[in-house]
Protein backbone atom coordinates (compact mmCIF):
# COMPACT_ATOMS: atom_id res chain seq x y z
CA UNK A 1 0.00 0.00 0.00
CA UNK A 2 1.23 3.54 -0.60
CA UNK A 3 2.37 4.92 2.67
CA UNK A 4 3.76 8.46 2.55
CA UNK A 5 0.48 10.18 1.85
CA UNK A 6 -1.01 13.34 3.30
CA UNK A 7 -3.38 12.50 6.09
CA UNK A 8 -6.30 14.85 6.61
CA UNK A 9 -8.11 14.96 9.91
CA UNK A 10 -10.96 16.58 11.71
CA UNK A 11 -10.95 14.21 14.61
CA UNK A 12 -10.13 15.54 18.06
CA UNK A 13 -9.10 13.17 20.80
CA UNK A 14 -11.26 13.42 23.91
CA UNK A 15 -9.90 12.61 27.33
CA UNK A 16 -12.12 11.25 30.08
CA UNK A 17 -11.23 11.35 33.75
CA UNK A 18 -12.64 8.31 35.57
CA UNK A 19 -13.30 8.26 39.34
CA UNK A 20 -11.46 4.96 39.49
CA UNK A 21 -8.11 6.53 38.63
CA UNK A 22 -5.49 5.43 41.13
CA UNK A 23 -4.85 7.34 44.35
CA UNK A 24 -1.31 8.34 43.42
CA UNK A 25 -2.33 9.69 40.03
CA UNK A 26 -5.28 11.46 41.64
CA UNK A 27 -3.07 13.32 44.07
CA UNK A 28 -0.61 14.14 41.34
CA UNK A 29 -3.35 15.47 39.09
CA UNK A 30 -4.64 17.71 41.86
CA UNK A 31 -1.17 19.19 42.24
CA UNK A 32 -0.89 20.01 38.54
CA UNK A 33 -2.36 23.50 38.44
CA UNK A 34 -1.30 25.87 35.70
CA UNK A 35 -1.15 29.49 36.85
CA UNK A 36 -1.88 31.75 33.92
CA UNK A 37 0.65 34.54 33.62
CA UNK A 38 0.62 37.26 30.99
CA UNK A 39 3.19 36.80 28.26
CA UNK A 40 5.78 39.56 28.14
CA UNK A 41 8.10 40.44 25.33
CA UNK A 42 11.66 39.25 25.54
CA UNK A 43 12.93 42.81 26.07
CA UNK A 44 10.51 43.33 28.96
CA UNK A 45 11.65 40.10 30.52
CA UNK A 46 15.29 41.12 30.23
CA UNK A 47 14.60 44.46 31.90
CA UNK A 48 12.71 42.63 34.66
CA UNK A 49 15.45 40.03 35.01
CA UNK A 50 13.16 37.21 34.01
CA UNK A 51 14.18 34.66 31.39
CA UNK A 52 11.14 32.41 31.40
CA UNK A 53 7.49 32.41 30.44
CA UNK A 54 4.60 30.46 31.91
CA UNK A 55 2.04 30.29 29.13
CA UNK A 56 -1.70 30.05 29.39
CA UNK A 57 -3.34 27.05 27.80
CA UNK A 58 -4.85 29.27 25.14
CA UNK A 59 -1.35 30.39 24.00
CA UNK A 60 -0.29 28.68 21.80
CA UNK A 61 21.55 4.50 24.37
CA UNK A 62 23.80 2.54 22.98
CA UNK A 63 23.62 0.75 19.62
CA UNK A 64 23.71 -3.05 20.01
CA UNK A 65 23.75 -6.05 17.74
CA UNK A 66 20.82 -8.44 17.35
CA UNK A 67 22.78 -11.20 19.07
CA UNK A 68 23.30 -9.11 22.20
CA UNK A 69 19.89 -7.44 22.38
CA UNK A 70 17.96 -10.26 24.07
CA UNK A 71 20.40 -10.93 26.90
CA UNK A 72 21.04 -7.21 27.46
CA UNK A 73 17.34 -6.47 27.63
CA UNK A 74 16.80 -9.28 30.16
CA UNK A 75 19.48 -7.75 32.36
CA UNK A 76 17.87 -4.32 32.23
CA UNK A 77 14.39 -5.71 32.89
CA UNK A 78 15.59 -7.34 36.09
CA UNK A 79 16.69 -3.96 37.43
CA UNK A 80 13.09 -2.71 37.42
CA UNK A 81 10.38 -4.33 39.50
CA UNK A 82 7.26 -5.19 37.48
CA UNK A 83 8.53 -3.49 34.28
CA UNK A 84 5.18 -3.78 32.48
CA UNK A 85 3.14 -2.28 35.30
CA UNK A 86 -0.09 -0.74 34.02
CA UNK A 87 1.05 2.77 35.02
CA UNK A 88 4.12 2.69 32.81
CA UNK A 89 4.08 4.32 29.36
CA UNK A 90 4.63 2.56 26.06
CA UNK A 91 7.61 3.35 23.86
CA UNK A 92 7.84 2.31 20.20
CA UNK A 93 11.25 1.92 18.54
CA UNK A 94 11.45 1.44 14.77
CA UNK A 95 14.77 0.27 13.32
CA UNK A 96 15.04 1.15 9.64
CA UNK A 97 18.27 -0.80 9.36
CA UNK A 98 16.65 -4.18 10.00
CA UNK A 99 13.01 -3.20 9.28
CA UNK A 100 11.83 -4.13 12.78
CA UNK A 101 9.53 -2.50 15.33
CA UNK A 102 9.60 -3.14 19.08
CA UNK A 103 7.11 -1.91 21.68
CA UNK A 104 8.20 -1.47 25.29
CA UNK A 105 6.01 -0.88 28.32
CA UNK A 106 8.36 0.38 30.95
CA UNK A 107 11.36 -1.87 30.37
CA UNK A 108 9.38 -4.91 29.28
CA UNK A 109 9.00 -5.88 25.62
CA UNK A 110 5.32 -6.34 24.79
CA UNK A 111 5.37 -6.53 20.97
CA UNK A 112 7.83 -7.14 18.14
CA UNK A 113 7.15 -7.19 14.40
CA UNK A 114 8.67 -6.70 10.99
CA UNK A 115 7.79 -3.51 9.09
CA UNK A 116 8.30 -1.89 5.71
CA UNK A 117 9.49 1.71 5.66
CA UNK A 118 9.96 4.29 2.88
CA UNK A 119 11.78 3.30 -0.27
CA UNK A 120 14.50 5.32 -1.98
CA UNK A 121 13.27 8.81 -2.77
CA UNK A 122 10.53 8.48 -0.13
CA UNK A 123 12.65 7.65 2.92
CA UNK A 124 10.93 7.50 6.30
CA UNK A 125 12.18 10.40 8.42
CA UNK A 126 14.12 9.60 11.58
CA UNK A 127 13.65 11.21 14.96
CA UNK A 128 11.44 11.37 18.04
CA UNK A 129 7.72 11.41 17.24
CA UNK A 130 4.47 10.76 19.07
CA UNK A 131 1.09 9.48 18.00
CA UNK A 132 -1.01 12.53 17.11
CA UNK A 133 -4.18 10.86 15.86
CA UNK A 134 -5.71 7.39 15.47
CA UNK A 135 -8.20 6.36 12.79
CA UNK A 136 -9.41 2.81 12.29
CA UNK A 137 -10.54 3.58 8.73
CA UNK A 138 -8.64 6.12 6.68
CA UNK A 139 -7.89 6.84 3.03
CA UNK A 140 -5.05 8.80 1.51
CA UNK A 141 -5.92 12.14 -0.03
CA UNK A 142 -2.74 12.06 -2.17
CA UNK A 143 -2.53 8.54 -3.57
CA UNK A 144 -5.96 7.96 -5.14
CA UNK A 145 -7.79 7.36 -1.86
CA UNK A 146 -5.60 4.35 -1.11
CA UNK A 147 -6.81 2.68 2.09
CA UNK A 148 -4.71 3.15 5.23
CA UNK A 149 -6.49 1.04 7.85
CA UNK A 150 -5.57 1.26 11.54
CA UNK A 151 -3.74 4.52 10.90
CA UNK A 152 -1.72 6.14 13.71
CA UNK A 153 -0.40 9.53 12.62
CA UNK A 154 3.14 10.65 13.51
CA UNK A 155 3.28 13.97 11.60
CA UNK A 156 0.72 16.29 10.07
CA UNK A 157 2.75 16.19 6.85
CA UNK A 158 1.78 12.61 6.19
CA UNK A 159 3.87 10.03 8.08
CA UNK A 160 2.01 7.29 9.97
CA UNK A 161 1.99 3.71 11.18
CA UNK A 162 -0.70 1.70 9.39
CA UNK A 163 -1.76 -1.73 8.22
CA UNK A 164 -0.73 -2.97 4.79
CA UNK A 165 -1.11 -6.17 2.85
CA UNK A 166 2.38 -5.67 1.42
CA UNK A 167 5.09 -5.76 4.10
CA UNK A 168 8.10 -7.34 2.38
CA UNK A 169 10.56 -6.69 5.26
CA UNK A 170 12.40 -4.12 3.14
CA UNK A 171 11.77 -0.45 2.32
CA UNK A 172 8.76 -0.31 -0.03
CA UNK A 173 6.40 2.47 1.11
CA UNK A 174 6.11 6.16 0.24
CA UNK A 175 7.35 7.17 3.70
CA UNK A 176 5.00 5.59 6.21
CA UNK A 177 5.78 2.56 8.36
CA UNK A 178 3.74 -0.39 7.06
CA UNK A 179 2.60 -3.04 9.52
CA UNK A 180 1.29 -6.59 9.04
CA UNK A 181 -2.43 -6.89 9.77
CA UNK A 182 -2.14 -8.67 13.12
CA UNK A 183 0.57 -6.29 14.36
CA UNK A 184 -1.38 -3.23 13.19
CA UNK A 185 -4.48 -4.38 15.11
CA UNK A 186 -2.47 -5.05 18.26
CA UNK A 187 -0.68 -1.70 18.15
CA UNK A 188 -3.88 0.19 17.37
CA UNK A 189 -5.60 -1.25 20.43
CA UNK A 190 -2.53 -1.04 22.65
CA UNK A 191 -1.02 2.38 21.97
CA UNK A 192 -2.50 5.65 23.15
CA UNK A 193 -2.46 9.04 21.53
CA UNK A 194 0.76 10.71 22.70
CA UNK A 195 2.84 7.50 22.77
CA UNK A 196 6.42 8.19 21.72
CA UNK A 197 7.68 6.57 18.53
CA UNK A 198 11.44 6.71 17.90
CA UNK A 199 12.61 5.99 14.36
CA UNK A 200 16.31 5.40 13.79
CA UNK A 201 18.57 3.90 11.16
CA UNK A 202 20.18 1.81 13.89
CA UNK A 203 18.98 -0.63 16.56
CA UNK A 204 18.37 1.15 19.87
CA UNK A 205 17.79 -0.29 23.32
CA UNK A 206 16.33 1.71 26.25
CA UNK A 207 18.43 1.73 29.41
CA UNK A 208 17.94 2.86 32.99
CA UNK A 209 19.46 6.25 33.70
CA UNK A 210 19.84 8.48 36.74
CA UNK A 211 21.47 11.88 37.13
CA UNK A 212 21.18 14.62 39.77
CA UNK A 213 20.05 17.15 37.15
CA UNK A 214 17.04 15.08 36.09
CA UNK A 215 13.62 16.24 37.27
CA UNK A 216 11.83 14.48 40.13
CA UNK A 217 8.25 15.05 41.39
CA UNK A 218 7.58 17.79 43.95
CA UNK A 219 4.59 19.01 45.94
CA UNK A 220 3.23 15.61 46.94
CA UNK A 221 2.12 17.10 50.28
CA UNK A 222 -0.47 19.43 48.73
CA UNK A 223 -3.87 18.09 49.70
CA UNK A 224 -7.33 18.47 48.21
CA UNK A 225 -8.19 20.97 50.92
CA UNK A 226 -5.09 22.99 50.12
CA UNK A 227 -5.99 23.11 46.45
CA UNK A 228 -9.50 24.31 47.29
CA UNK A 229 -8.46 26.95 49.84
CA UNK A 230 -5.05 28.01 48.62
CA UNK A 231 -3.48 26.96 51.96
CA UNK A 232 -0.76 24.33 51.76
CA UNK A 233 0.76 22.30 54.63
CA UNK A 234 4.44 22.09 55.55
CA UNK A 235 5.29 25.41 53.99
CA UNK A 236 4.39 24.34 50.45
CA UNK A 237 2.94 27.09 48.35
CA UNK A 238 -0.47 26.33 46.88
CA UNK A 239 -1.93 28.50 44.11
CA UNK A 240 -4.73 30.92 44.98
CA UNK A 241 -8.16 29.29 44.88
CA UNK A 242 -9.46 31.70 42.25
CA UNK A 243 -6.81 30.57 39.71
CA UNK A 244 -7.70 26.89 39.95
CA UNK A 245 -8.85 25.04 36.87
CA UNK A 246 -9.38 21.35 36.31
CA UNK A 247 -5.77 20.10 36.29
CA UNK A 248 -4.52 17.92 33.48
CA UNK A 249 -2.91 14.56 34.13
CA UNK A 250 -1.54 14.41 30.60
CA UNK A 251 2.23 13.80 30.51
CA UNK A 252 4.57 16.74 30.13
CA UNK A 253 6.64 16.98 26.96
CA UNK A 254 9.90 18.77 27.79
CA UNK A 255 12.34 19.81 25.08
CA UNK A 256 15.84 21.13 25.77
CA UNK A 257 17.49 22.62 22.71
CA UNK A 258 19.22 25.64 21.21
CA UNK A 259 17.47 28.79 20.16
CA UNK A 260 16.55 28.93 16.53
CA UNK A 261 17.87 31.56 14.13
CA UNK A 262 14.40 33.11 14.14
CA UNK A 263 14.52 33.56 17.92
CA UNK A 264 18.01 35.06 17.75
CA UNK A 265 16.90 37.51 15.04
CA UNK A 266 13.77 38.44 16.97
CA UNK A 267 15.89 39.25 20.04
CA UNK A 268 18.13 41.45 17.86
CA UNK A 269 15.08 43.21 16.41
CA UNK A 270 13.83 43.92 19.96
CA UNK A 271 17.21 45.46 20.80
CA UNK A 272 17.36 47.60 17.64
CA UNK A 273 13.85 48.88 18.25
CA UNK A 274 14.75 49.72 21.84
CA UNK A 275 17.84 51.58 20.56
CA UNK A 276 15.54 53.62 18.28
CA UNK A 277 16.36 51.92 15.01
CA UNK A 278 12.71 51.64 13.94
CA UNK A 279 11.36 48.40 12.57
CA UNK A 280 7.80 47.91 11.39
CA UNK A 281 7.87 44.21 12.23
CA UNK A 282 9.53 42.22 14.97
CA UNK A 283 9.01 38.83 13.43
CA UNK A 284 12.35 37.03 13.58
CA UNK A 285 12.87 37.31 9.82
CA UNK A 286 16.15 38.81 8.65
CA UNK A 287 14.85 40.79 5.69
CA UNK A 288 15.83 44.05 4.04
CA UNK A 289 14.36 46.22 6.78
CA UNK A 290 16.30 44.42 9.49
CA UNK A 291 19.50 44.46 7.43
CA UNK A 292 19.11 48.23 6.90
CA UNK A 293 18.66 48.77 10.64
CA UNK A 294 21.74 46.62 11.30
CA UNK A 295 23.84 48.64 8.82
CA UNK A 296 22.72 51.89 10.47
CA UNK A 297 23.64 50.47 13.88
CA UNK A 298 27.04 49.30 12.61
CA UNK A 299 27.84 52.73 11.16
CA UNK A 300 26.90 54.44 14.44
CA UNK A 301 29.11 52.08 16.45
CA UNK A 302 32.21 52.03 14.21
CA UNK A 303 31.59 48.52 12.94
CA UNK A 304 32.03 47.39 9.32
CA UNK A 305 28.62 48.09 7.70
CA UNK A 306 28.13 44.59 6.34
CA UNK A 307 24.53 44.10 7.41
CA UNK A 308 25.49 40.53 8.33
CA UNK A 309 24.25 38.69 11.42
CA UNK A 310 27.42 37.88 13.35
CA UNK A 311 28.39 37.16 16.94
CA UNK A 312 30.28 40.47 17.12
CA UNK A 313 27.14 42.31 15.99
CA UNK A 314 25.06 40.63 18.68
CA UNK A 315 27.61 41.39 21.38
CA UNK A 316 27.72 45.05 20.35
CA UNK A 317 23.92 45.34 20.28
CA UNK A 318 23.51 43.85 23.75
CA UNK A 319 26.27 46.07 25.10
CA UNK A 320 24.73 49.20 23.55
CA UNK A 321 21.34 48.33 25.04
CA UNK A 322 22.84 47.67 28.46
CA UNK A 323 21.42 44.15 28.44
CA UNK A 324 23.22 40.96 29.35
CA UNK A 325 23.43 38.64 26.37
CA UNK A 326 21.06 35.73 27.01
CA UNK A 327 22.23 32.11 27.10
CA UNK A 328 22.03 30.04 23.92
CA UNK A 329 19.72 27.33 25.23
CA UNK A 330 15.99 27.12 25.81
CA UNK A 331 13.65 24.68 27.51
CA UNK A 332 10.09 24.31 26.22
CA UNK A 333 7.23 22.50 27.96
CA UNK A 334 4.02 21.26 26.36
CA UNK A 335 1.02 19.40 27.73
CA UNK A 336 -1.94 18.10 25.74
CA UNK A 337 -0.08 19.27 22.58
CA UNK A 338 -0.09 22.88 23.81
CA UNK A 339 2.77 25.07 25.11
CA UNK A 340 2.55 25.89 28.82
CA UNK A 341 6.05 27.10 29.74
CA UNK A 342 9.43 28.13 28.36
CA UNK A 343 12.68 29.46 29.82
CA UNK A 344 16.19 30.31 28.70
CA UNK A 345 18.90 27.93 29.91
CA UNK A 346 22.68 27.96 29.91
CA UNK A 347 24.87 25.57 27.94
CA UNK A 348 28.49 25.23 29.00
CA UNK A 349 30.96 24.89 26.11
CA UNK A 350 28.18 25.90 23.69
CA UNK A 351 30.34 25.14 20.66
CA UNK A 352 30.15 21.42 21.49
CA UNK A 353 27.06 19.43 20.39
CA UNK A 354 24.62 18.02 22.92
CA UNK A 355 23.48 15.11 20.78
CA UNK A 356 19.92 13.79 20.70
CA UNK A 357 18.44 11.95 23.67
CA UNK A 358 15.03 10.87 24.94
CA UNK A 359 14.16 10.25 28.59
CA UNK A 360 10.83 8.71 29.57
CA UNK A 361 9.36 8.70 33.09
CA UNK A 362 8.60 5.18 34.35
CA UNK A 363 7.58 3.74 37.72
CA UNK A 364 6.10 7.13 38.62
CA UNK A 365 5.33 7.87 42.27
CA UNK A 366 4.71 11.08 44.20
CA UNK A 367 8.38 11.42 45.10
CA UNK A 368 10.37 9.44 42.53
CA UNK A 369 10.73 8.62 38.85
CA UNK A 370 12.83 5.94 37.20
CA UNK A 371 14.04 7.50 33.96
CA UNK A 372 14.43 5.34 30.84
CA UNK A 373 16.81 6.73 28.22
CA UNK A 374 17.75 6.45 24.56
CA UNK A 375 20.61 8.22 22.80
CA UNK A 376 19.97 8.60 19.08
CA UNK A 377 22.64 9.10 16.38
CA UNK A 378 21.86 12.43 14.72
CA UNK A 379 22.85 14.50 11.73
CA UNK A 380 22.99 18.21 12.59
CA UNK A 381 21.99 20.48 9.67
CA UNK A 382 24.63 22.89 8.37
CA UNK A 383 22.39 25.83 9.24
CA UNK A 384 22.42 24.82 12.92
CA UNK A 385 26.19 24.30 12.85
CA UNK A 386 26.61 27.76 11.27
CA UNK A 387 24.20 29.64 13.53
CA UNK A 388 25.68 28.20 16.75
CA UNK A 389 29.32 27.86 15.62
CA UNK A 390 29.32 24.17 16.52
CA UNK A 391 32.65 22.39 16.29
CA UNK A 392 31.99 19.13 14.47
CA UNK A 393 34.64 17.30 12.41
CA UNK A 394 33.90 17.50 8.69
CA UNK A 395 34.06 13.72 8.32
CA UNK A 396 31.42 13.20 11.04
CA UNK A 397 28.12 12.13 9.48
CA UNK A 398 26.19 11.61 12.72
CA UNK A 399 26.74 12.99 16.19
CA UNK A 400 26.84 10.60 19.15
CA UNK A 401 27.17 12.32 22.52
CA UNK A 402 27.10 11.12 26.13
CA UNK A 403 23.78 11.89 27.85
CA UNK A 404 25.47 12.29 31.23
CA UNK A 405 28.03 14.75 29.85
CA UNK A 406 25.34 16.73 28.05
CA UNK A 407 23.25 17.05 31.23
CA UNK A 408 26.32 18.25 33.16
CA UNK A 409 26.64 21.16 30.73
CA UNK A 410 23.07 22.44 31.25
CA UNK A 411 22.15 25.23 33.68
CA UNK A 412 18.41 25.21 34.33
CA UNK A 413 16.94 28.13 36.33
CA UNK A 414 15.49 27.23 39.73
CA UNK A 415 12.04 28.58 38.87
CA UNK A 416 11.93 26.52 35.68
CA UNK A 417 12.90 23.38 37.61
CA UNK A 418 10.28 24.04 40.27
CA UNK A 419 7.55 24.57 37.68
CA UNK A 420 8.37 21.37 35.85
CA UNK A 421 8.74 19.25 38.97
CA UNK A 422 5.38 20.41 40.32
CA UNK A 423 3.67 19.44 37.07
CA UNK A 424 5.35 16.11 36.30
CA UNK A 425 3.00 13.21 35.61
CA UNK A 426 3.35 9.57 34.70
CA UNK A 427 4.74 9.15 31.18
CA UNK A 428 6.32 12.60 31.02
CA UNK A 429 9.35 12.83 28.77
CA UNK A 430 12.46 14.93 28.14
CA UNK A 431 13.98 15.33 24.69
CA UNK A 432 17.40 16.92 24.18
CA UNK A 433 18.76 17.96 20.80
CA UNK A 434 20.85 20.59 19.02
CA UNK A 435 18.40 20.74 16.12
CA UNK A 436 15.93 23.23 17.57
CA UNK A 437 12.23 23.43 16.76
CA UNK A 438 11.93 21.71 13.42
CA UNK A 439 9.35 22.16 10.70
CA UNK A 440 7.10 19.36 12.02
CA UNK A 441 6.56 20.81 15.52
CA UNK A 442 3.51 23.05 15.57
CA UNK A 443 -0.11 23.35 16.57
CA UNK A 444 -1.53 20.03 17.70
CA UNK A 445 1.80 18.23 18.13
CA UNK A 446 4.25 17.24 20.80
CA UNK A 447 7.88 18.16 20.11
CA UNK A 448 8.90 16.35 16.94
CA UNK A 449 12.68 16.10 17.03
CA UNK A 450 14.12 15.46 13.57
CA UNK A 451 17.40 13.56 13.44
CA UNK A 452 17.57 13.35 9.62
Give tens-digit pLDDT for 267-295. Answer: 999 999 999 998 999 999 999 999 999 99
Averaged confidence pLDDT in the chain? 81
pLDDT class for 111, splitting at 50, 70, 90?
Answer: very high
pLDDT class for 85, splitting at 50, 70, 90?
Answer: low
pLDDT class for 72, splitting at 50, 70, 90?
Answer: very low
Selected residue with higher pLDDT from 212 and 18: 212
Q: Mean pLDDT throughout 80-87?
A: 54
Q: What is the pLDDT of residues 408-425, one digit of tens each?
A: 999 999 999 999 999 999
Query: Is 60 exceeded by the pLDDT of residue 22?
Result: no
Selected residue with higher pLDDT from 181 and 146: 181
Q: What is the pLDDT of residues 203-250, one digit of tens each?
A: 999 999 999 999 999 864 333 333 333 443 333 343 443 333 556 889
Predicted pLDDT at 143: 61
Selected residue with higher pLDDT from 424 and 11: 424
SS3 letters across the chain: CCCCCCCCCCCCCCCCCCCCCCHHHHHHHHHCCCCCCCCCCHHHHHHHCCCEEECCCCCCCEECCHHHHHHHHHHHHHCCCCCCCCCCCEEEEEECCCCEEEEEECCEEEEEEECECECCCCCCCCEEEECCEEECCCECCCCCCCECCCEEECCCCCCEEEECCCCCCCCCECCCEEECHHHHHHHHHHCCCCCEEEEECCCEECEEECCCCCCCCCCCCCCHHHHHHCCCHHHCCCCCHHHCCCCCCCCEEEEEEECCHHHHHHHHHHHHHHCCCCCCCCCCCCCHHHHHHHHHHHHHCCCCCCCCCCHHHHHHHHHHHCCCCCCCEEEEEEECCEEEEEEEEEECCCCCCCCEEEEEEECCCCCCCEEEEEEECECCCHHHHHHHCCCCCCCCCCECCCHHHHHHCEECCHHHHHHHHHHCCCCCEEEECCCCCCCCCCCCCCCCEECC
Q: How far apart are CA 184 and CA 181, in angstroms?
A: 5
Predicted pLDDT at 140: 74
Q: What is the pLDDT of residues 325-362, one digit of tens each?
A: 999 999 999 999 999 999 999 999 999 999 999 999 99
At the second CATH level, the architecture of 65-207 is Beta Barrel (2.40)
Strands 252-258 and 429-432: parallel
pLDDT class for 54, splitting at 50, 70, 90?
Answer: confident
Which one, of 191, 156, 160, lies nearest residue 444 by Cα? Answer: 156
pLDDT class for 48, splitting at 50, 70, 90?
Answer: very low
pLDDT class for 12, splitting at 50, 70, 90?
Answer: very low
Domain ranges of the chain: 65-207, 263-321
- Residue 247's Cβ-side half-sphere holds a number of Cα atoms within 13 Å equal to 24
- Residue 186's Cβ-side half-sphere holds a number of Cα atoms within 13 Å equal to 13
Q: How far apart are CA 144 and CA 127, in angstroms?
A: 28
Domain 263-321 has CATH 1.10.101: yes
Contact yes or no for 378/399 (Cβ under 8 A): yes
Selected residue with higher pLDDT from 307 and 27: 307
Amino acid sequence: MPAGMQISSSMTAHRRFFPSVCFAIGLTALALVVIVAPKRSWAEEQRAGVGMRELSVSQTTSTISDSNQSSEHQRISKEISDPTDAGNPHLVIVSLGNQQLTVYKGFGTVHHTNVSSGKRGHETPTGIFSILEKRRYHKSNIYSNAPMPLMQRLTWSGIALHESGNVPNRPASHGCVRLPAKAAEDLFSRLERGTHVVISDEDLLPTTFSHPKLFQPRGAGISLAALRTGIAPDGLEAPPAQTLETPSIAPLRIYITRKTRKEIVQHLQELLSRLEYPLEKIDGLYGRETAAAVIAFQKDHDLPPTGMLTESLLQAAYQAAGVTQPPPGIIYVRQDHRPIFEAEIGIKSPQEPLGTHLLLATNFSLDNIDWMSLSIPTRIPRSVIRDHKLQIPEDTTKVRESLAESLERLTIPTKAREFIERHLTSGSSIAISDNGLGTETGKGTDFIVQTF
